[in-house]
Structure 1
């Protein structure tokens, strides 16, 4: 049994604190999804305007991914994670005090901006602190454990919202965000060098314990051509990662971030407790499946994109099983649906691993930012289209299963686009990088 590297405890501490900040970010991101009915009543809005709240948040999130990636390569993850937590805390404070639509929109925009800084920064820390063989698994664990934030929104946040009211629920999120910023600023460091450690001389045979960033740097030095953004945009492997991320998670985000709770209650006739439980099942399934997918990506890199395609097909079939037959579905079918759809979330992280295989460390933040726009572009387009369709199909606000069925059918469009994009970009990546398993 090998002896752990001296930096392992420090690496786990840095990653653990950053991971906790990501849990808080997911809690903030998904808080509106469990408060959809209360949001409608508080601000007197219909489905289209309610969707606009979530879409505004995701537009900011997706739009900032590339700028955040560029800043990440320049400023490092610690500053961005802490700054993101501050922005989310301020956004939730604005939302807690808002009584009109403009204030609510401003709050969600601030939440989206802070959220945009968090995940890509946490992912950027992993190759700086851990050996390359552990990066795919830890990336999946990060994504999976981060989804605990959805459980926090679906259970304790709902309890506070129903028991203490709007202001207390969103005010508590503001305090939590500011506390997360303080802890990150105190304990997270961008790399072992920043933590005050000196490099140890390694024997040639000890390369397996080098961090992923060191291995990639030795393998491919920093390119001498134009800026980071231009180099990343011209890399087909980054676009392959983008399309993997576009295709696999967006319908799960539609369920968790906005329409799932209302669909289960209004469309399927479930109680609010059952709807919260179904959202929690989604999270548990993502947590369980994430590490399994990470281990598969580490051991069988040649199956990464094929796995993403299989999962995308399974998710599509799950939607057909729920929306196709007439009438509401039994609770067991909805549980199975929540499990299958949830796997699309961790499957999207395969996109980051694919992109990491094709770029150098100097471009990794920018590449991660571009990849991370994929699923959120698909999700925000779907959410807005569903909201508009629901208002057209149920103009009085009395949404039934048929209205949800036809509105959700619009998600077939981004699904087809994602499949085509993945297949085309995979062929181009294989031509550009014949030695990389995809």
Structure 2
């Protein structure tokens, strides 16, 4: 499509307005996803469940989230971000409303599954809007801002939701949370537009052709490189914020519920700050993106080693360092999506983004499940019986996934660079110089996006 056919400016005020509305949906999704982090102990009492069952809430939610990423990517490429955001909001609202009135474990599990399905549609849709509406040089920073400002939902879950649960009770607190989705449904319907270009009809894809494209996207070493860059740094922050951080700090390290909530807020605040720094580094050093991720992962592992080996309970200053360094893994995982843009044409980016997004959440759900299993094996008496040594043993399962992830990043970095040099000679030299590279679209309909 010729440049003069573009309806709206890329990177202008309209782009920022659309992004702000879509970002609000992501904040709500993160809030819903993180709400069990501060409600875990109340949920265990409300539904009379042990650690393994409590972990199952989040594991199932993440299984649904991760399992839907590829189908959502396909639907995103076909129908666009606006339709997917509206669908996600309907499911998020319904899931949280059912959760508010749940009094049995099976009903609550169903509600969390619906939440996971709605959550699965949001983040990749927002990233697609970033790709469509912002300049190439803007995209890495806007992507980081998306991930980090989105974590404000975790702050809302950490303190205000904790307060609401104690003051209003379970049903009113979660019932009010579900009503927020209705407001955002209206905002998305009136504000969000998929592209600055004229609207196209949905592209109909035959199943055989779709399978061929998915094999091609998955066979691209750049997709796998992005996935492992998402897998390795992300899960520690997710596991800590979603479910096990609060019990670890309160039941293990002996902190008050107020202090633990503040630490979760500090963690989220640090995520925003570190995201801005990492976004700047990615823009300056595109060739070294995977090494930036590995550096963050090694830092997280080092701090956890100090905490786990500390005799007795760790001092508060060390726990502050722990939550900050662990939180840096969230922004580092966003680099996986930036890598996908370097290896994937625009018309397949939804599917590639979905595959990348699977990585961190698969690691998270496996880690959450293993921590619950280890806790129950060490102390079958239930959550009230878990001590610091039990939590330390359980949290040690993280080393398995850090090791696997770093090995795979190094492996696919080599493969990805060879692939890119073969397909686009000169791209690697361009990135070494600090210039961004976005894979040219296979679709000749649209003009190349601006890079300045």
Structure 1 and Structure 2 fold alike (TM over 0.5): yes
Q: 1:169 deviation in Å?
A: 1.2
Distance 2:39 2:400 in 1: 27
Q: Tell me, yes or no, if the aligned pair for 2:36 and 2:243 is still in contact at 8 Å.
A: yes
What's the counterpart of residue 67 of structure 2? 63
**SS, match of residue 426 in structure 1:** helix
Structure 1: which 4+ aligned runs deviate by more than 4 Å?
A: 4-7
Provide, for residues 13-48 of structure 1, a one-character-per-residue CA deviation record: whole Å limited to 9, x for no partner: 000100111001100000011100000000000000
Residues 1:273 and 2:258 are matched in the alignment: yes
**SS, match of residue 152 in structure 1:** helix
Q: Tell me, yes or no, if the aligned pair for 1:83 and 1:181 is still in contact at 8 Å.
A: no
Q: Tell me, yes or no, if the aligned pair for 1:225 and 1:231 is still in contact at 8 Å.
A: no
Q: Tell me, yes or no, if the aligned pair for 1:293 and 1:346 is still in contact at 8 Å.
A: yes
Distance 1:55 1:262 in 2: 17
Residues 1:113 and 2:120 are matched in the alignment: no
Provide, for residues 95-123 of structure 1, a one-character-per-residue CA deviation record: whole Å limited to 9, x for no partner: 11111111000110011000000000000
What's the counterpart of residue 382 of structure 1? 367
Q: Trace 1:78-93 onto structure 2 (pairs within 5 A).
A: 78-93=82-97
Q: Tell me, yes or no, if the aligned pair for 1:228 and 1:366 is still in contact at 8 Å.
A: no
Q: 1:227 deviation in Å?
A: 3.8
- Residue 155 to residue 195, structure 1, CA distance change in 2 (3 Å): farther
What's the counterpart of residue 47 of structure 2? 43
Q: 1:313 deviation in Å?
A: 0.2
Q: Tell me, yes or no, if the aligned pair for 2:11 and 2:135 is still in contact at 8 Å.
A: no
Residues 1:416 and 2:378 are matched in the alignment: no
Provide, for residues 118-158 of structure 1, a one-character-per-residue CA deviation record: whole Å limited to 9, x for no partner: 00000010111111110001000000100000000001111
**SS, match of residue 269 in structure 1:** coil
Distance 2:137 2:211 in 1: 30
Match of 1:193 among 197, 218, 226: 197
Distance 2:10 2:339 in 1: 29
Distance 1:225 1:78 in 2: 22
What's the counterpart of residue 355 of structure 1? 340
Residues 1:319 and 2:292 are matched in the alignment: no
Q: 1:226 deviation in Å?
A: 6.9
Q: Trace 1:22-421 onto structure 2 (pairs within 5 A).
A: 22-193=26-197, 227-397=212-382, 398-421=385-408
Q: Tell me, yes or no, if the aligned pair for 2:10 and 2:196 is still in contact at 8 Å.
A: no
Q: Tell me, yes or no, if the aligned pair for 2:282 and 2:289 is still in contact at 8 Å.
A: yes
Q: Tell me, yes or no, if the aligned pair for 1:82 and 1:182 is still in contact at 8 Å.
A: no
What's the counterpart of residue 450 of structure 2? none
**SS, match of residue 430 in structure 1:** helix
- Residue 292 to residue 265, structure 1, CA distance change in 2 (3 Å): same
**SS, match of residue 248 in structure 1:** helix
**SS, match of residue 343 in structure 2:** coil
Q: 1:193 deviation in Å?
A: 2.6
Q: 1:195 deviation in Å?
A: 8.0
Distance 1:369 1:77 in 2: 13
Distance 2:338 2:84 in 1: 21
Q: 1:194 deviation in Å?
A: 5.0
Provide, for residues 33-86 of structure 1, a one-character-per-residue CA deviation record: whole Å limited to 9, x for no partner: 110000000000000000000000000000000110111000100111111111
Distance 2:212 2:183 in 1: 36
Q: 1:345 deviation in Å?
A: 0.3
Match of 1:428 among 415, 427, 440: 415
In structure 2, stretches of 5+ residues that fail to align are 1-7, 201-208, 422-426, 433-452
Distance 1:186 1:123 in 2: 19
Provide, for residues 135-188 of structure 1, a one-character-per-residue CA deviation record: whole Å limited to 9, x for no partner: 001000000100000000001111110101000111111111222222111211
Distance 2:369 2:354 in 1: 23
Q: Tell me, yes or no, if the aligned pair for 2:164 and 2:173 is still in contact at 8 Å.
A: yes
Q: Tell me, yes or no, if the aligned pair for 1:70 and 1:228 is still in contact at 8 Å.
A: no
Distance 1:5 1:106 in 2: 43
RMSD: 1.6
In structure 1, stretches of 5+ residues that fail to align are 197-223
- Residue 226 to residue 378, structure 1, CA distance change in 2 (3 Å): closer
Distance 1:79 1:142 in 2: 19
**SS, match of residue 110 in structure 2:** helix
